[in-house]
Chain A
């Protein structure tokens, strides 16, 4: 158990809908990361927050948004869902701002299926 909690574990929804994925980082970790894993694109970095502020952005679609709250949990909002958004969405956390100085701890992921 990495200590990173993601909910829900599975989610099935329809095209055009909006969903929110939630992540609770390990106790004491200030950085939260979101990654998308799909068969087509592999594992892709979406976004990173550190202590409530956005710090790095990857290939995140405009239909997607995220935030980190004062209690350090994070939410990833996916709207106007398309079939291609079906994927496993991982949250990871770490103590520090940079990956080079420490390990990222991953949650078990949220499996999103868009029908």
Chain B
């Protein structure tokens, strides 16, 4: 079974600084999809960024980028120029594609605090 591990229960960063959230996963699949979701206090899960395993290039979305290391099964999220609005719980998620359809396997989450 696929598992997703986020080893940092909490992280903090100063406004305008850079922070990296870690995620590792376990899978026997060669093609799969990885995601970072943000859950602010409003509770609603919001997609931050996604990565297809067959793509070697790391995904970027404005201030958010990932470091995808397929061999190491590592998928970290880097937030640059952190803003107060980035404070939230961040979840790493995995989808095996194919007949997994919409099933996402989530990590335990990392609470990110942004200090002004």
Q: Counting CB contacts under 8 A, is B104 at the interface?
A: yes
Stretch from A16-24, A65-73, A79-87, A103-111 at the B interface: A103-111
Interface SS majority for chain A? strand
Q: Counting CB contacts under 8 A, is B100 at the interface?
A: yes
Q: Nearest CB to that of A98 among chain B residues?
A: B101
A99 lies within 8 A of B102 (CB): yes
Nearest chain A CB to B99's CB is how many angstroms away? Answer: 8
A103 lies within 8 A of B33 (CB): no
Q: Counting CB contacts under 8 A, is A48 at the interface?
A: yes
Nearest chain A CB to B38's CB is how many angstroms away? Answer: 11
Report how far A75 CA is from B42 CA in the complex, Å: 22
Residues of B within 8 A of A92 (CB): 45, 102
Residues of A within 8 A of B101 (CB): 31, 48, 50, 55-56, 97-99
From A90, A98, A108, residue with most partner B Cβ within 10 Å: A98
Known contacts A99-B33, A100-B95, A100-B97; A45/B104 CB under 8 A: yes
List chain A positions with a Cβ less than 8 A from chain B: 2, 31, 33, 35, 42-45, 48, 50, 55-56, 58, 88, 90, 92, 94, 97-100, 103-104, 106-109
The 5 A-B pairs with the shortest beta carbon distances in the complex, nearest first, are A106-B45, A43-B106, A100-B97, A99-B102, A99-B95
- Pairs A–B under 8 Å by Cβ, sample size 5: A55-B102, A100-B97, A103-B50, A106-B45, A108-B43
